[in-house]
């Protein structure tokens, strides 16, 4: 009766330049010009891809039609960079052993991410992280209006309730979405937030990285 819903970016992996380049290329294809730096002040960590596209399009003076087209083009451009993603993307420390350890302990593992389903699948497969992840018992940025709406969707798809479930993420948004559904939350300081910043939010557990995550999660099970 134990389930982990993993965040991707900053928690299990870092997609890096190929993902940034895919966004720029998608924008160029839709707008006919590169993005300006006007959207540069927006923090994207922990946000849903449709929210990010909306913010960028508004900052760039693009309409809803362009926003929709950007969301169609984004997975296409990332898929076109799959080889680079496999080379330049990073699986964060202790991610593989934690996934394998939880699987060996009989835990069910899905994903709750702001990535579109297609971009999430490209990242997971390019970096070879799919072996222990159930990408159907998961929820993505195109499944709901907010991150908070995604956890109940993933729980439902996994056939589980909140008891015995954890969200593992790297931002306050991960904690908020877990709290909204009564799911426990482990935060790791491998994204844009420091250990102290995350600890101040008082999640159920906080770690510098995924070393020790297996012990925290399996130690919590009845």
Interface with Mg ion: number of residues (CB under 5 A): 4
Task: Out of 7, 60, 67, 77, name the contact with Mg ion by CB under 5 A.
Answer: 7
Per the DSSP assignment, residues forming a β-bridge with 3 are 108, 165
Q: Phi and psi (nearest 5°) for 54? A: -65, -45
Residue 14, SS3? Answer: strand
Q: Residue 174 CB, nearest distance to Mg ion (Å)?
A: 6
Task: Out of 19, 112, 170, 178, name the contact with Mg ion by CB under 5 A.
Answer: 170
Task: Report the residue number, 48 or 66, with the smaller CB distance to Mg ion.
Answer: 48
Q: Which of residues 56-95 bind Mg ion (CB under 5 A)?
A: none
Q: Residue 89 CB, nearest distance to Mg ion (Å)?
A: 14
Helix (H) or strand (E) holding 5: strand 3-6
Question: Which tokens go with 166?
Answer: 């954890």
Q: Phi and psi (nearest 5°) for 42? A: -85, 130
- Helix pair angle (172-180, 147-158), 10° resolution: 60
Task: Out of 9, 49, 67, 77, name the contact with Mg ion by CB under 5 A.
Answer: 9
Q: Residue 16 CB, nearest distance to Mg ion (Å)?
A: 14
Q: Residue 45 CB, nearest distance to Mg ion (Å)?
A: 6
Task: Report the residue number, 18 or 62, with the smaller CB distance to Mg ion.
Answer: 18
Task: Report the residue number, 44 or 68, with the smaller CB distance to Mg ion.
Answer: 44
Q: Which of 34-42, 61-69, 138-146, 167-175 is the region at the interface with Mg ion (rule: CB under 5 A)?
A: 167-175
Task: Report the residue number, 31 or 168, with the smaller CB distance to Mg ion.
Answer: 168
Task: Report the residue number, 62 or 205, with the smaller CB distance to Mg ion.
Answer: 205
Question: Which tokens go with 138?
Answer: 């998961």
Contacts of 14 (CB under 8 A, 6+ apart): 89, 90, 92
Contacts of 77 (CB under 8 A, 6+ apart): 21, 22, 23, 25, 26, 29
From CA 161, how far away is CA 5, in angstroms rounded? 12
From CA 65, how far away is CA 106, in angstroms rounded? 45
Q: Which of 3-11, 26-34, 97-105, 214-222 is the region at the interface with Mg ion (rule: CB under 5 A)?
A: 3-11
Q: Which of 4-12, 24-32, 86-94, 122-130 is the region at the interface with Mg ion (rule: CB under 5 A)?
A: 4-12
Residues that bind Mg ion (CB under 5 A): 7, 9-10, 170
């Amino acid at each position: 009766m134990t389930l982990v819903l993993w965040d991707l970016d900053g928690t299990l992996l870092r997609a890096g330049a190929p993902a940034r380049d895919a966004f720029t290329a998608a924008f160029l294809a839709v707008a006919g010009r590169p993005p300006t730096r006007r959207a540069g002040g927006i923090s994207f960590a922990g946000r849903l891809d449709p929210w990010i596209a909306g913010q960028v399009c508004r900052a760039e003076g693009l309409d809803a039609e362009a926003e929709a087209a950007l969301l169609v083009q984004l997975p296409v451009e990332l898929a076109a960079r799959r080889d680079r993603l496999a080379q330049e993307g990073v699986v964060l420390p202790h991610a593989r052993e934690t996934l394998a350890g939880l699987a060996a302990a009989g835990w069910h593992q899905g994903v709750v991410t702001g990535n579109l389903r297609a971009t999430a699948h490209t990242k997971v497969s390019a970096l070879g992280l799919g072996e222990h992840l159930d990408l159907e018992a998961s929820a993505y940025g195109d499944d709901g209006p907010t991150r908070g709406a995604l956890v109940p969707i993933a729980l439902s798809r996994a056939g589980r309730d909140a008891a015995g479930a954890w969200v593992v993420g790297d931002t306050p948004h991960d904690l908020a979405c877990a709290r909204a559904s009564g799911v426990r939350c482990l935060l790791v300081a491998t994204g844009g937030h420091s250990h102290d910043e995350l600890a101040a939010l008082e999640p159920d557990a906080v770690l510098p990285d995924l070393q020790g995550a297996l012990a925290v999660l399996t130690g919590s099970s009845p």
